[in-house]
């Protein structure tokens, strides 16, 4: 075998690593840009990096509080990065007053984690499309393009990216029953939205689509949901640590789910930021399912139900429980479900 063929075979056998490295190199400006924004806090965001300082010092003022501090995977990953990855400081002077000594390196750790998740999500999107769903090369590449576009709707500064990556990881391994059950249960340690999405998906598959093979996944999602509730109860009430805005009593946003929830959803149609942050992302998430009523694309390796449209619609419940400005973020957590559908449909139109 010639050296050229050996090199080609080596690249093929390690293509996932090379693809990830490719994204890691060409998208480095994304990391630098978000890192600078986080440091200067030029855009308001939830300061998850502060929890690293809480782990280091135990000072409660840096605890991001429940439910945010119960999304253990992202918090632990950024802490591990803080411990093992050399801190890189920006070379240019920035307008910054350090709130605590470790702020720069803590922020770097969060920014770097989100950058790794971005590269990982793009890489896994390609392999999910090409290897698992058996899409052709053009459709698989276009899935990556759409993934990069829509990931911009979630925050690059918090734990959204790692949550969406985890959801895609679960979908990727659904053909491995034992591993997928473990991943579904452990989703309780990642993000409650992922548990909610998986529970809705498996409920539709088993009860409405009559797919009996999804029963074990449904049970696993039920266990994961129960685990989310038990962890929250244990932390917030048994340990008496409270939760986000609980000190506001009846004025907290979570306490007004039933009294103001519909108004928060309706407000998407009343303000400019509502269309940008809510209505347009909602249209993107619903369009693939609506088009599927008219476009029939056969793919025996990729099953989806038109009833899956209920999942992104139901994510508006998080808008009712929080605020309108985050609607796009909530909706895009379901991206791994509908993005492959949209990829196929766009390629279908381009080939007509």
State pLDDT tens for residues 314-334.
999 888 777 778 888 999 999
CA distances from 293 to 100, 287, 290 (A): 55, 10, 6
From residue 343, give the alpha-carbon distance in Å to each of 38, 130, 143, 246, 317.
32, 12, 5, 42, 27
pLDDT for the residue numbered 94: 66
Say if CB 48 and CB 158 are below 8 A apart: yes
253 versus 79: which is more confidently predicted? 79
**For the chain, first and last CA: distance in Å?**
43
Euclidean distance between CA atoms 56 and 79, whole angstroms = 9
Going by the DSSP 8-state scheme, the letter that residue 87 receives in this structure is P
- What is the C-alpha to C-alpha distance for residues 283 and 233, in angstroms, rounded to an integer? 35
Residues in contact with 160: Cβ distance below 8 Å, sequence separation at least 6, in sequence order: 154, 329, 332, 333
Interatomic CA distance for residues 247 and 276, integer angstroms: 31
Does residue 340 contact residue 135 with C-beta atoms inside 8 Å?
Answer: yes
* Whole-number pLDDT of residue 196: 97
Distance CA 73, CA 190 (A): 5
Flag whether pLDDT at 110 surpasses 80: yes
Give SS3 for 164. helix
Provide the pLDDT for residue 256: 64
Dihedral sign, Cα of residue 31, residue 37, residue 43, residue 44: positive
Report how far Cα 218 is from the mean position of its chain's Cα atoms. Answer: 20
Alpha-carbon Rg of the chain, whole angstroms?
A: 21
Three-state SS for 190? Answer: coil
Other CB atoms within a 10 A radius of the CB of residue 225 amount to 17
pLDDT in tens, 194-220: 999 999 999 999 999 999 999 999 999
Question: How many whole angstroms separate alpha carbon 300 and alpha carbon 69?
Answer: 41
Question: pTM value?
Answer: 0.94
Q: Which pair of structure tokens corresponds to residue 143?
A: 């899935």
pLDDT for residue 267: 82
Residues ≥6 apart with Cβ < 8 Å to 146: 339, 342, 343, 346
DSSP 322: S
Token pair for 228: 């989310």
Q: Which two tokens stand for residue 56?
A: 């280091």
Alpha helices per DSSP H over the chain: 3-13, 15-26, 28-40, 50-57, 72-84, 103-127, 137-150, 160-172, 177-186, 192-203, 215-233, 257-266, 272-274, 280-291, 310-314, 316-321, 327-332, 335-350
pLDDT digits (tens, 9 = 90+) for 141-180: 999 999 999 999 998 999 999 999 999 999 999 999 999 9
**Cα separations (Å) of 136 from 17, 143, 271, 299?**
21, 11, 41, 11
At residue 111, does pLDDT exceed 80? yes
DSSP codes joined into one string, 103-118: HHHHHHHHHHHHHHHH
Helix axis angle, 103-127 relative to 50-57, nearest 10°? 120
Q: Is there a contact between 326 and 275 (Cβ–Cβ < 8 Å)?
A: no
**Which pLDDT score is estimated for 187?**
98
Report the distance separating Cα 254 and Cα 274, nearest Å.
Answer: 20
Query: Which pLDDT value is given to residue 93?
Result: 65
pLDDT of 255 over the 70 cut: no
Task: Name the more confident of 241 and 36.
Answer: 36
Q: What is the pLDDT of residue 9?
A: 72
Please provide residue 9's backbone torsions phi and psi, each rounded to the nearest 5 degrees: -65, -35
């Amino acid at each position: 075998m010639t050296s050229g063929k050996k090199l080609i075979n080596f690249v093929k056998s390690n293509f996932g690593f090379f693809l990830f490295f490719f994204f890691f190199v060409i998208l480095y400006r994304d990391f630098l840009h978000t890192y600078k924004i986080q440091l200067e806090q030029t855009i308001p965001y939830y300061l998850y990096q502060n929890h690293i300082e809480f782990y280091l010092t135990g000072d409660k003022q840096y605890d991001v509080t429940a439910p945010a501090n119960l999304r253990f995977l992202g918090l632990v990953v950024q802490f591990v990065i803080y411990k093992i990855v050399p801190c890189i400081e920006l070379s240019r002077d920035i307008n910054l007053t350090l709130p605590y000594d470790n702020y720069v390196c803590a922020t770097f750790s969060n920014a770097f984690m989100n950058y790794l998740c971005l590269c990982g999500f793009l890489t896994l999107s390609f392999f999910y499309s090409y290897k698992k769903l058996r899409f052709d090369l053009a459709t698989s590449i276009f899935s990556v393009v759409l993934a990069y576009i829509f990931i911009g709707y979630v925050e690059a500064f918090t734990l959204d990216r790692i949550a969406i990556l985890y959801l895609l990881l679960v979908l990727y391994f659904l053909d491995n029953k034992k591993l997928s059950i473990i991943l579904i249960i452990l989703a309780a340690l990642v993000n409650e939205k992922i548990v909610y999405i998986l529970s809705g998906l498996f409920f539709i598959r088993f009860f409405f689509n009559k797919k009996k093979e999804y029963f074990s996944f449904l049970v696993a999602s039920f266990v994961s949901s129960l685990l989310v509730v038990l962890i929250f109860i244990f932390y917030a009430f048994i340990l008496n640590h409270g939760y986000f805005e609980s000190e506001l009593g009846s004025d907290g946003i979570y306490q007004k789910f039933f009294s103001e929830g519909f108004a928060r959803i309706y407000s998407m149609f009343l303000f400019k930021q509502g269309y940008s942050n809510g209505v347009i992302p909602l249209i993107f998430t619903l369009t693939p399912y609506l088009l599927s009523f008219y476009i029939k694309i056969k793919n025996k390796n990729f099953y989806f139900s038109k009833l899956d449209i209920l999942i992104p619609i139901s994510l508006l419940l998080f808008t009712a429980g929080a605020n309108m400005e985050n609607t796009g973020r909530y909706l895009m957590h379901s991206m791994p479900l509908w993005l492959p559908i949209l990829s196929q449909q766009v390629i279908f139109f381009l080939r007509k």
